[in-house]
Amino acid sequence: MPHAHEPDEDDLEAITPPQPVFHVEQALLGALLLEPHRLGDVTGIAASSFSTAAHAAVFAAISTLPPPDPAEHATNTKWLDRVLATGREQARGLTASYLHTLVQVCPWPRHATAYGRMVEAEHARRRLQTAAERLVQTVHDVSIPHRVQTVLVEADALAAVVDDIAARFPPRAGVLPRTEAPPPPSARDYTEAVEEEQLLLATATAHPSDVDSVRWLLPDDFTLPLHAGLWQCLTALARRREPIDPVTVLWEVQQRGLLHDGDEPGEVLRLLAEPAGSVEHWGERALQRSLLTTADHTSRRIEAYACDPANTPFQLVVGARRSLAGLSAVRTRWQHATGTVPTSRPRPAPTIRAGPPTTTAAHNARATRATR
């Protein structure tokens, strides 16, 4: 029987040190244990907002138990004993010594409101990270029967998280995340995409009158630069009502300077000479792939923002909304292509910013000025 490894003193060096929010949570809980009446000043968080089960259990106990009499609380530990007993129902490892630690590490109980705001901000970051990760997983889950619809549902869920954070932390204009966009994922097999795009281009060349039926398809939806350039040339010729065949398309490609090193004219002609199926079918396939790719890039970018603890909730909201705007644009074109009715997602009420005082004295002063 293999010998079970017992942690020793050296192993403690390998333990990841707690993040700053861990110490913030300790300070907040210590403040509430010392001065329970400050719980009313802490809004916007719940037990689920905390990063550890022990902290969540302590906050849940503080929130559910009736507050003690301040004078009695200053002379005995009866209320703290009740907090410990209640917290142990959720976290069995909770000890009286840890409650004592929470009390000892709190710098100033009167700063409880500020500590609570910090906990809320960190929880918002974790929520955004989780929603973005879920969207990435959905994009790549090929077992889902209706993957596009499911991806759009997850995108709506991610947008709802962003809206909720924005309601709690109204974004400031021009404050963008400092985090660099993540590199594209490792190379994938684009064989099927390339083949379908070639069929689309060849079929559109053979049936140019059908190009107008897929006006929702853009060059950016293609996986290869050459294919994007060919589509750009096809749509330009169709728009100008000029003759379209493999030779005229090749000439347009040359006129636009879209032939790069390695692009042989003969290969382009052969690519455009093998039509099959319908333009609309292949166009919809290309747009679907573009939507999934955009959803993947969007969620990865937002995930990168949320994984950077240096980003404030304000920056997360601005960066996430800008990222989601690109996905929304592709989604709109997908709805036009498939004739699907967009699902209306309720938007949060606009944040009311501080205005002039509304006291009776201020109101009377304005009325007096108005009658002058």
Q: Are 244 and 212 in contact (CB under 8 A)?
A: no
What is the CATH code for 191-287?
1.10.860.10
pLDDT given for residue 352 in this prediction: 37
What mean pLDDT do residues 126-130 have? 96
224 phi, psi to nearest 5 deg: -110, 140
| Model confidence pLDDT, tens digit, residues 249-301 | 999 998 888 887 667 889 889 999 999 999 999 999 999 999 999 999 999 99
pLDDT given for residue 10 in this prediction: 42
Q: Lowest-pLDDT range, 45-54, 95-104, 301-310, 357-366?
A: 357-366
pLDDT given for residue 270 in this prediction: 92
Q: Are 275 and 141 in contact (CB under 8 A)?
A: no
**Which of 56, 103, 55, 54 is closest to 79 using CA atoms?**
103
| Model confidence pLDDT, tens digit, residues 179-226 | 887 776 665 668 899 999 999 999 999 999 999 999 999 999 999 999
Q: Which helix (H) or strand (E) holds 354?
A: none
pLDDT given for residue 189 in this prediction: 67
pLDDT given for residue 309 in this prediction: 92
Q: Are 231 and 205 in contact (CB under 8 A)?
A: no
The single residue listed with the structure tokens 């989604």 is 331
What is the 3-class SS of 125-175, one letter each residue? HHHHHHHHHHHHHHHCCCCCCCHHHHHHHHHHHHHHHHHHHHHHCCCCCCC
Per-residue pLDDT at 107 exceeds 90: yes
**Which of 70, 61, 82 is closest to 38 using CA atoms?**
70
- Our CA angle for 76, 80, 82, nearest 5°, is 115
Sign of the CA dihedral 224, 226, 232, 238? negative
pLDDT given for residue 174 in this prediction: 63
pLDDT given for residue 370 in this prediction: 41
pLDDT given for residue 92 in this prediction: 92
Domain ranges of the chain: 18-107, 120-180+289-338, 191-287
318 phi, psi to nearest 5 deg: -65, -45
Q: Are 33 and 61 in contact (CB under 8 A)?
A: no
pLDDT given for residue 260 in this prediction: 75
What mean pLDDT do residues 97-120 have? 95
CA distances from 42 to 66, 119, 128, 167 (A): 16, 10, 22, 17
Alpha-carbon gap, residue 159 to 328, rounded angstroms: 10
**Which of 274, 275, 227, 233 is closest to 250 using CA atoms?**
233
**Which of 135, 116, 155, 125 is closest to 309 using CA atoms?**
125
What mean pLDDT do residues 130-148 have? 94
pLDDT given for residue 351 in this prediction: 42
Q: How confident is the model at residue 15 (pLDDT cuts 50, 70, 90)?
A: low
Non-local CB neighbours of 174 within 8 Å, separated by 6+ positions: 318
pLDDT given for residue 22 in this prediction: 95
Please, what's the b/e burial string for 141-174 (b: 16 or more CB within 10 A of its CB; e: otherwise)? eeeeeebbeebbebbeebbebbbebbebbebeee
Query: Which ranges in the chain belong to alpha helices (H)?
Result: 20-34, 53-64, 70-73, 78-88, 96-105, 112-139, 147-168, 191-206, 225-239, 246-255, 265-271, 279-307, 313-338, 360-370
CA dihedral 299, 300, 302, 307 (to 10 degrees): 140
Q: How confident is the model at residue 178 (pLDDT cuts 50, 70, 90)?
A: confident
Per-residue pLDDT at 356 exceeds 50: no
What mean pLDDT do residues 137-145 have? 93
321 phi, psi to nearest 5 deg: -65, -40
pLDDT given for residue 339 in this prediction: 84
**Which of 82, 54, 55, 53 is closest to 66 using CA atoms?**
82
pTM score, two decimals? Answer: 0.81
What mean pLDDT do residues 326-348 have? 79
pLDDT given for residue 17 in this prediction: 75
Can you read off the two tokens belonging to residue 252?
């347009």
pLDDT given for residue 163 in this prediction: 96
Alpha-carbon gap, residue 276 to 255, rounded angstroms: 27
Q: Are 317 and 165 in contact (CB under 8 A)?
A: yes
Task: Tell me the average pLDDT of the chain.
Answer: 86
Non-local CB neighbours of 49 within 8 Å, separated by 6+ positions: 56, 59, 119, 120, 123
